[in-house]
Structure 1
Amino acid sequence: MKRATAPVRPLIAVGAGLAAMGAAALLGLPSLAKAPEVRLTAAASAPPEGAYWHTRMLFKKTSPRRLGSGANRYWVVEQQLIERWTTPDGRSWVGSRELGAYPESAADRAAWRRDGSPAKWSRTADGQTVALSTQPAKGHVSPARGDNTFLLAGQRLTYEEVQRLPADPNALKSWLAQAARVSRAQENAVDRDVTWALPDLLYRLPAPKEVRAAAYQALLTMPGVRARGKTVDGAGRTGMALSIEFQTGDRKEPTKATTDLVIDTGTMLLLSEGQTSVINGKESRGEAGNQTVLQAGWTDAAPAVPALP
């Protein structure tokens, strides 16, 4: 999901009572209410199940500008594989690979064929510079920069602290709310920040299944979140669909941003996430896209250039 940039504050202690009031005082912020007692997860002492927490994601988005020439103009979909491997001590590697663009619809494919079925583009239909191809790139993998921690709600956590996050939905929401307040100090953004943080626990962080289940249950109670029943994602997998809606902008340019999630409630892992934005009643292609989480879990396989699907 899109997140507003904000400096990361010192770590909040994870556990009963937290250290939010002390952190707030150090930052010169209003004192925060004491968090409820939290129950440690059953897997709090469980060791990692592999050398790396690994995610493999397929990103797709409609290119923001049409390609082609004359009357033969068309939209194409760009696609990219992103993989991440993170050790329990927080070291990470990221691999990426462009998979090639393709016409979005049957009408776009017909226009592309009339345009000569090009395999590469250096200009859009209105003359903007681009570098697109229908063929996959070679891809690359490299160490990720960072301070070897797991980022959640603006807080940098160790692996052990991720394991000790609350496995109760209300306690987890309370912890995330206090983390958001310390990190951003904007009370009117707390619910939004908590809602943004919860899906991270469903795939990006190596959280125990009990914590992932609490995150899913907590999501169902957040403002703007609606359960939509069973559905099938782009990879043909069945899961529960949720939608998250936020209203932004002003009266002159009202914007409704919607994020659609599909969650496997057996494993409590995110399957896919899609985003759309409607500005003044018109869908914005530049803000639309989706990601399919092809893999999320522990592995002993070393980081490598993402293989083609």
Structure 2
Amino acid sequence: MDEMIRALLSEPPPSTGATTDARRRLTDEIAGSRAARPSRTTWRRFAGVAVAAAVAVGIAAGSIAAIAPEGTRPGPTATAPELLLAAAHQAAAKPAGTGRYWRVQIVRKSGAGVRGRAGGETFDVGRRHVADVWQPRNPEDGTWLGSQNLGAYPWSATDRAAWERAGSPTEFETFVDPPTGARYVTLSTRPEAGRLQRVESGFRIEVFNLYDPFELARLPAEPDALRAAALDDLRRNGRDPGDLGVYVMMTELLTFAPATPELRAAAFTVLSRVPGVRNVGIREDATGRQGIGISYLADDWIILNPRDYTFLGFGSQATDGTPETATSMLKAEWTDSEPVPPALS
């Protein structure tokens, strides 16, 4: 599965250490195989897309409005519960979408453990790619996966200076350490043409997602019932039934599932009640947009648009504090458009 994902997304694999550590900690924490509280580590999967269609039944928007009245717009320094309840109010007020396909498009940037070299200089390298999934209401329309490599770039200002000293090359060599063994590859700063291919119905990039969005979108759309259903699912599947498990399930629902406005409002409300959830200040997504970071763990956050509290994206940090991944949510909507290859620049 890993090799297929990399081929589809045109992304050189991360280092063996980064991959092993992230996946082990992710599965350990959610499966509950360790009793300790989660540590500061890059444990989350926030990268890929899995989409589907479903139906949810609801709560009245008025119950959310009673918590976060019309016109309430907490600022960027508000507490996380205040921001999440405002997001719940906004979500409940949005109309439900319609269309042939549920489409989710993301841009991801990553740069951990990859170093480029050119002209006698070395520099850390970031890479960006697009994943674009079209999931049909009618299975006969087919599920489609679009992908596009947006090119490599110097990761930081210091790395950019080294790259410029090397002559600002559009191509350079980089060392990677995939599970199959060490090798050198050539990366380019130029975006590639997007690709589109039909995949099996119900296709999921399983390495990135713990839950089937079909199932998430069928959860009850009332906060208490939603939390109870989440805990029941976690117990039945042998996962940790605590606050961490609820946090992960709700963020996956809000990120990838074709949930009704009522269900999205309920999910935001459930998140607002998770003990320890907090505002971690301004965070930047993979396209440079800035929003308010909401976190349960010290090294992992979601990013809310400060104007309407919709998702801009999410991100995580390595244990040394160096930004490792960031993701932008560009589209999460029903559409009648025909699937097309992504064409970002």
**TM-score, normalisation: structure 1:** 0.68
**Counterpart Cα distance in 2 of 1:236 and 1:111:** 22
What is aligned with 1:144? 199
Residues 305 and 77 of structure 1: CA distance in aligned 2, closer, same or farther (over 3 Å): same
Post-superposition CA distance 1:95-122 (Å, at most 9, x none):
1100011112232122112223222234
**Counterpart Cα distance in 2 of 1:122 and 1:232:** 28
**Counterpart Cα distance in 2 of 1:236 and 1:112:** 20
**Counterpart Cα distance in 1 of 2:156 and 2:149:** 20
What is aligned with 2:231? 177
What is aligned with 2:52? none
What is aligned with 2:333? 297
Among candidates 117, 133, 137, match of residue 188 of structure 2: 133
Secondary structure class of the residue paired with 1:306: coil
Among candidates 250, 256, 259, match of residue 300 of structure 2: 259
Greater per-residue helix proportion: 2
Residues 131 and 220 of structure 1: CA distance in aligned 2, closer, same or farther (over 3 Å): farther
**Counterpart Cα distance in 2 of 1:232 and 1:290:** 8
Select the structure with the greater relative contact order (CA < 8 A; seq sep ≥ 6).
2
Secondary structure class of the residue paired with 2:233: helix
Superposed displacement of residue 276, structure 1: 0.9
Whether 2:293 is the aligned partner of 1:241: answer yes
Residues 86 and 65 of structure 1: CA distance in aligned 2, closer, same or farther (over 3 Å): same
Superposed displacement of residue 50, structure 1: 1.0
What is aligned with 1:25? none
Aligned pairs for 1:150-189 within 5 A: 154=211, 157=214, 162=217, 164-183=218-237, 185-187=238-240
Q: Who wins on radius of gyration, i.e. which is larger?
A: 1
Superposed displacement of residue 229, structure 1: 6.5
Post-superposition CA distance 1:153-204 (Å, at most 9, x none):
646746xx82x53222222111111112222x144x5433321121222231
Superposed displacement of residue 51, structure 1: 1.1
**Counterpart Cα distance in 1 of 2:157 and 2:212:** 46
What is aligned with 1:192? 244
**Percent of paired sites with the same residue:** 31
Residues 75 and 269 of structure 1: CA distance in aligned 2, closer, same or farther (over 3 Å): same
- AA of the residue aligned to 1:220: S
Superposed displacement of residue 259, structure 1: 1.4
- AA of the residue aligned to 1:177: L
Residues 223 and 130 of structure 1: CA distance in aligned 2, closer, same or farther (over 3 Å): farther
Secondary structure class of the residue paired with 1:196: helix
Q: Which 5+ residue runs of structure 1 have no aligned equivalent?
A: 6-37, 246-256
Q: Which 5+ residue runs of structure 2 have no aligned equivalent?
A: 1-21, 29-55, 62-94
Number of matched pairs: 255
Contact residue 239 and residue 245 of structure 2 kept, 8 A: no
Contact residue 106 and residue 131 of structure 2 kept, 8 A: yes
Residues 4 and 141 of structure 1: CA distance in aligned 2, closer, same or farther (over 3 Å): farther
**Counterpart Cα distance in 1 of 2:244 and 2:115:** 33
**TM-score, normalisation: structure 2:** 0.62
Whether 2:151 is the aligned partner of 1:100: answer yes
Whether 2:241 is the aligned partner of 1:203: answer no
What is aligned with 2:163? 112
Post-superposition CA distance 1:252-284 (Å, at most 9, x none):
xxxxx6212122487664211011131xxx236
Among candidates 299, 310, 316, match of residue 275 of structure 1: 316
Residues 217 and 56 of structure 1: CA distance in aligned 2, closer, same or farther (over 3 Å): same
Superposed displacement of residue 48, structure 1: 5.6
